Amino acid sequence: MTTNVKPSPRERLLEAAATLTYRGGVGIGVEALCKAAGVSKRSMYQLFDSKDELLAASLEQRTSAYVTALLPAADDGRSPRERILHVFEQVESQSRAPDFYGCPFLAAQIELKDQSHPASRVAHGAKESLTAFFRAEAEHGGASDPDLLARQLSMVFDGASARAGIGADKLTGLIAPTVITLLDAAGMR
């Protein structure tokens, strides 16, 4: 016998914040968040000090799933070059979904503008982790300037994600050749 466990008000708020802000941006109102979650405003403020804290917690909760969907497993046996290309293959694949609006962490940072905002700090950390992944792989792959390559790859990732997210470009046939050019120029193996 299976029992359906209803998500807690906190879980429902985190999910509503994730879904609504990804689709419509961080400017979504408290009332809309509470309505989508089926939670009163009073309950929301008992669980979170502010909407800002809810947004930060929602992004924080999404970080591990986002990273898991993008990054290869640590011991997958691929070369550093192949591991970097894997990330871009994942974003290309994700970009084909009709509900793809780009990187949620980049979008939050752009919308919030305030780097001290709790959600912006979470988003910044997620973006820094991706750049650190690129830097580590670049070092292992013998890149001539791992720091520069990591920054370039992050810029390509963000640009590709943003352009695909707003429907300005398709990534198929565009992102892999761009990344390969950077990897070749850096001497990556």
Q: Does a structural domain hold residue 62?
A: yes
Q: What is the CATH number of the domain that holds 134?
A: 1.10.357.10
* pLDDT computed for residue 32 by the predictor: 96
Q: Does a structural domain hold residue 169?
A: yes
Quote the Cα angle for 159-105-158, to 5°: 10
- Please tell me the distance from the alpha carbon of residue 17 to that of residue 5, in angstroms, as a whole number: 20
Whether residue 4 is predicted with pLDDT greater than 90 in this model: the reply is no
Q: Does a structural domain hold residue 12?
A: no
Query: How many domains does one find in the chain?
Result: 1
- Please tell me the distance from the alpha carbon of residue 46 to that of residue 38, in angstroms, as a whole number: 15
Give the residue carrying structure tokens 């001539």: 144
* pLDDT computed for residue 71 by the predictor: 95
Range of the domain at 86: 51-185
Summarised one tens digit per residue, pLDDT across range 9-29 is 999 999 999 999 999 999 999
Q: Does a structural domain hold residue 97?
A: yes
Q: Does a structural domain hold residue 76?
A: yes
Q: Does a structural domain hold residue 2?
A: no
* pLDDT computed for residue 106 by the predictor: 94
Confidence (pTM): 0.91
Calculate the CA 185 to chain-centre distance: 27
* pLDDT computed for residue 163 by the predictor: 95
Q: Does a structural domain hold residue 27?
A: no
Whether residue 152 is predicted with pLDDT greater than 60 in this model: the reply is yes
Q: Does a structural domain hold residue 39?
A: no
Whether residue 3 is predicted with pLDDT greater than 70 in this model: the reply is no
Average pLDDT over residues 78-82: 97
Buried b (16+ CB within 10 A) or exposed e, 81-98: bebbbbbbbebbebbeee
* pLDDT computed for residue 189 by the predictor: 86
Whether residue 38 is predicted with pLDDT greater than 60 in this model: the reply is yes
* pLDDT computed for residue 142 by the predictor: 97
